[in-house]
Amino acid sequence: MRSASPRRAAPRRSPALTRLATPFSSALSPSRHHEVDEVAGNNLAAGLAAMQGWRVEMEDAHVMTVDVPDSPGFSFFGVFDGHGGKYISDCAARDLLSRVLSTDEWKSGARDVETISAALRSGFIKLDEELKGCEEVVARDDHSGSTAVTALVTPTHVFVANCGDSRSILVSGGAAIEMSHDHKPYLEKETKRIEEAGGTVAMKRVNGDLAVSRALGDFVYKRSAQLPPEKQQVSCEPDIIVHVRNPEKDQYLVLACDGVWDVVSNEDCAKFVLEKAGEGCHRMQDLAGEIIDRCFELQSKDNMSAVVVAFPSAPSNALPAEKKREYDMLKAARESAKEREAAGGGAGAMAEEGAAQ
């Protein structure tokens, strides 16, 4: 009953949003251009790299902030993988943090694990309900959706809230710690909810169409007036995993969309990050860029975005200056070669060369 939905103005823009506008890509000519960003604060350094790749449009968005309002020492990071358009992913990157901060749980002032987890959950649901009534959805019939993987880093804990099949790992003591679980329609818990809400799972997809079972947006799957948001065919409720920070062991936090995880495992990603840091990669946007370049070489066909957060014990923080200079020189040479290849239309050769290294 679309006419009965109250119209609301689209959520206001926030400085936290970075739109990812990249050069044109087509099935014959992928865009390997990197959109990059980096921030530092609270004894953390974070960087993003995003690539449109083989997709015709870039639908990813991200957020990185080390100054959560009125919360000293708190930082917030997120990757949002849009599908069917980028409206929802852009809105999520822009507004999710503010919605978390506006929840009753957050405004209570309590900062224990249970209250923060509840605030994250409520923030996801609150944003999704607002988006459902936005003019872009109600009047302009936007059908897009977005996965969301976010991390709230406090002085003592890491809270990862995930909705969909983007993913996060923590590299701690040289090992990969799983910080999220993918939400796929064929998983028993997800299938049960989908069917109880009147949907089906066919070809491992919701109603034979959507490949994720939880997402923001995707309101065509959220039409049951009798069910709460978390019980709809596609749920906006995040799962939350909490890690107690270990100053001696915690090294890197990685958040990335499924274009990365389609071609690398958690363990391989952690190993790769440590290897590149050992080679002299010291800026987090470069480390994120190494990840997405490697995934392109491994034949990922999707948009790719990765955020890498370095903790104080990250190996890249202890690199000698000479090692950093060597890496920067090699990176400059590679970028120059990439530009020549792109000008000559040699993307395939580049991929083969990279895979052979």
Mean pLDDT of 118-122: 98
Residue-wise pLDDT tens digits, 29-61: 888 889 999 999 999 999 999 999 999 999 999
Q: Which of the 8 DSSP states describes residue 346?
A: -
Residue 28: pLDDT over 80: no
CB 238 within 8 A of CB 212: no
Mean pLDDT of 243-258: 98
Give the pLDDT band (50/70/90) at residue 338. confident
**What's the chain look like in SS3?**
CHHHCCCECCCCCCCCEECCCCCCCCCCCCEEEEEEEEEEECCEEEEEEEEEECCCCCCEEEEEECCCCCCCCCEEEEEEEEECCCHHHHHHHHHHHHHHHCCHHHHCCCCCHHHHHHHHHHHHHHHHHHHHCEHHHHCCCCCCEEEEEEEEECCCEEEEEEECCCEEEEEECCEEEECCCCCCCCCHHHHHHHHHCCCCEECCEECCCECCCECEECHHHCCCCCCCHHHCCCECCCEEEEEECCCCCEEEEEEECHHHHCCCCHHHHHHHHHHHHHCCCCCHHHHHHHHHHHHHHCCCCCCEEEEEEECCCCHHHHCCHHHHHHHHHHHHHHHHHHHHHHHHCCHHHHHHHHHHC
- What is the predicted pLDDT for the residue at 345? 56
CB 179 within 8 A of CB 247: no
**Average model confidence (pLDDT) for the chain?**
89
Residue-wise pLDDT tens digits, 71-94: 999 999 999 999 999 999 999 999
Burial of 60 (0-12, 13-18, 19+ CB in 10 A): buried
Count CA atoms closer than 13 A to 283's CA, side-chain side. Answer: 13
Give the pLDDT band (50/70/90) at residue 353. very low
Tokens standing for 169? 């790992």
Residue-wise pLDDT tens digits, 162-204: 999 999 999 999 999 999 999 999 999 999 999 999 999 999 9
- What is the predicted pLDDT for the residue at 17? 37
Where are the domains positioned within the chain? Answer: 34-181+238-315, 320-351
Distance CA 315, CA 309 (A): 12
- What is the predicted pLDDT for the residue at 334? 84
Residues of the chain with pLDDT > 90, as a percent, come to: 79
- What is the predicted pLDDT for the residue at 340? 79
- Across the strands, what pairs with 47? 38, 308
**Taking the chain, what is the end-to-end CA distance rounded to the nearest angstrom?**
57
Residue 231: pLDDT over 70: yes
Give the pLDDT band (50/70/90) at residue 220. very high
- What is the predicted pLDDT for the residue at 75? 98
Residue 100: pLDDT over 50: yes
- What is the predicted pLDDT for the residue at 339? 77
Residue 154: pLDDT over 70: yes
Residue 11: pLDDT over 80: no
CB 100 within 8 A of CB 119: yes
Residue 350: pLDDT over 60: no
Q: Which amino acid is at 151?
A: A
Burial of 160 (0-12, 13-18, 19+ CB in 10 A): buried
Decide yes or no: CATH 3.40.630.10 for domain 34-181+238-315: no
Between 44-58, 272-286, 335-349, the lowest mean confidence (pLDDT) is in 335-349
> Cα–Cα distances in Å, from 65 out to 18, 196, 249, 326?
11, 39, 23, 30
